[in-house]
Amino acid sequence: MTEAAPVVHEILSSPAKGQVIPLEQVNDEVFSKKMMGNGFAITEHDGHIYAPIDGEITSIFPTKHALIITTLAGTGILIHLGLDTVELEGAPFDIKVTEQQKIKHGDLLAVMDLKQIQEAQKDATVIVITPDDQSGQLLKQDVAVDVTDEVFER
């Protein structure tokens, strides 16, 4: 008899002070149809992006528009900074962490230059997803949140 894998229970906080919305409201089909996984998005934020959970930075995309956190439970969390911002080749992003860096909930990960993103006519929505995982549920939606607010449970 084989043992079942332990059930992972994690709660993600908002990565920014802003408005939390369900993925279905994101203006990008890859995210809104959950093709990459389940999660949530933050709009109307100030550009300061914080760790939504304890873990380790396991990947920072060369274009600085996305990073991956591996949580203490070993699951991956993708934080995607804006829509179609990969085309900006990193210009509006100031990444404050390095790969393999251990992080705690609330640590500053990145600062987005919202003016530069707006001038490039891009959407600054921050998306947080659990890649290739459809589990989880929003704890809050369509409300203002701060980085201490728990917004997603899986």
Q: What is the mean pLDDT of residues 9-32?
A: 96
Rounded to whole angstroms, the Cα distance separating 143 from 65 reads 25
Mean pLDDT over the full length of the chain: 94
Does 3 reside within a domain? no
Does 140 reside within a domain? no
Rounded to whole angstroms, the Cα distance separating 91 from 8 reads 36
Structural domains in the chain (count):
1
Look up the domain containing 46 and give its range. 12-133
- Reported as type and span, the H/E element at residue 69 is strand 66-71
CATH of the domain at 54: 2.70.70.10
Residues 57-71 have pLDDT tens digits of 999 999 999 999 999
Cα dist from 137 to 34, 38, 94, 141, whole Å: 13, 8, 30, 10
- Sign, CA dihedral 21-31-102-136, equals positive
Task: Please give the positions annotated as active site.
Answer: 80
